Amino acid sequence: MLECKVFAANDLRVVDVETPSPGPGEVLIRLGAAGICGSDMHYFFHGAVGSFRIREPLTPGHEASGTVAAVGEGVTRVRPGQRIAINPSRACGQCAGCREGRENLCSNMRFLGSASVFPHMQGMFREYFTMPQQQCVPVDSDVSMQEIAMSEPLSVALHSVHRAGDLLGKSVLITGSGTIGCMMVIAARLAGARSITVTDVVDHPLDVARQVGADRTVRTDQLAQGTTLASIAGEPDVAFEVSGAPQALISCLETVRRGGIIVQVGTLPVDGMHLPANLVMQREIDLRGSFRFGHVFEHAVQAIASRRVDVRPVISASHSLADAQAAMHLARDKTRSMKVHLVPA
């Protein structure tokens, strides 16, 4: 079977390895589709994501769907032939974070396709892999494997909405219109937001944002001299900073209404940034963080499986695992693609 391994920056190899077999409580899964995320691209192009550096060959991939190929002893949650979404979070269930229901803050988290721990947690850019049954969520509908694989990015967005609190009737600003920005649009609509403005510096992602329900899109790099984002979008009640660009966080601080809420979803530069922090004080802004997701994963799977939300506009292309390198380059090109998936040959 084929498996993608990143050995170092710009060194991705597709290798032929033996198909694993499931142990007790484990499920053998044949890959359906695996989305290429920003972090996978960081491992490939830079050999690291923030401070998580590759120290041994890493198989990326944490957004996947598949079909159950076989089950180990004691597996009751899924059966062979069933289609599933895979939850990439493996929290310990014991630490303080887990016990207060915030398992995304687990101090012993093992997240698939991540170099945050050593040995690294190997991900799902491979034809077959085994997974504890608790991480397998059955899907009983005929939506595509690519749609099911969007459960993970949708979970990130749903969690961010939870962090913001009630969005019913609120005006929302989303800075950054990549996959997560577009999933934020979907999640904010689901939560009853009154109006949604999305910003970016490239046209194509903003086109997609409108397709999934943004009311207004703004090219922040094309604002006329002296024009502020607030003069176009009004002062939003809640802002989600998704781009990871320092300037975008600053514009959220300047644009959100007094007493408003900002949720930081994007990954800002590791070295930090200049932050006009007095705005937080003077305008009484609530600045909150949002990291991965917790129990919302199953809700995301259900929303997609029932097409209560339609993620299809966000999906751009599928490439075979053997073409993983080309797929990484395509995924990086925001002028023509958004979510690119890897599928078995």
Contacts to Zn ion by CB under 5 A: 37, 91-92, 95, 98, 106
Question: Among 26, 34, 43, which residue's Cα sits nearest to residue 146?
Answer: 34
In sequence order, which residues have a C-beta less than 8 Å from that of residue 137 and are 6 or more positions away?
Answer: 84, 85, 86, 87, 151, 297, 298, 301
CB of 153 to Zn ion, least distance (A): 6
Please identify, using beta-carbon distances, which residue of 95 and 330 lies nearer to Zn ion: 95
Please identify, using beta-carbon distances, which residue of 40 and 127 lies nearer to Zn ion: 40
Residue 339, SS3 per DSSP = strand
Please identify, using beta-carbon distances, which residue of 91 and 145 lies nearer to Zn ion: 91
Amino acid at 15: V
Question: Among 167, 190, 291, 301, which residue's Cα sits nearest to residue 239?
Answer: 167
Q: State how far Cα 215 lies from the chain centre.
A: 22
Helices 179-190 and 203-211 pack at an angle, to 10 degrees, of: 20
Q: Are 67 and 29 in contact (CB under 8 A)?
A: yes
Please identify, using beta-carbon distances, which residue of 169 and 289 lies nearer to Zn ion: 289
Helices 151-164 and 297-305 pack at an angle, to 10 degrees, of: 120
Please identify, using beta-carbon distances, which residue of 41 and 238 lies nearer to Zn ion: 41
CB of 28 to Zn ion, least distance (A): 23
CB of 73 to Zn ion, least distance (A): 26
CB of 166 to Zn ion, least distance (A): 26
Q: Are 288 and 264 in contact (CB under 8 A)?
A: yes
Cis link prior to 119 (omega < 30° from 0)? yes
Torsion of CA 187, 193, 194, 198, to 10 degrees: -50
Please identify, using beta-carbon distances, which residue of 279 and 309 lies nearer to Zn ion: 309
Please identify, using beta-carbon distances, which residue of 34 and 91 lies nearer to Zn ion: 91
List the beta bridge partners of residue 339: 315
Distance between CA 262 and CA 84 in Å, rounded? Answer: 34
Q: State how far Cα 91 lies from the chain centre.
A: 17
Distance between CA 255 and CA 66 in Å, rounded? Answer: 42
Burial tier of 331 (Cβ tally within 10 Å: 0-12, 13-18, 19+): buried
Distance between CA 157 and CA 25 in Å, rounded? Answer: 30
Please identify, using beta-carbon distances, which residue of 253 and 315 lies nearer to Zn ion: 315
Please identify, using beta-carbon distances, which residue of 88 and 213 lies nearer to Zn ion: 88
| Tokens encoding 211 | 């397709």
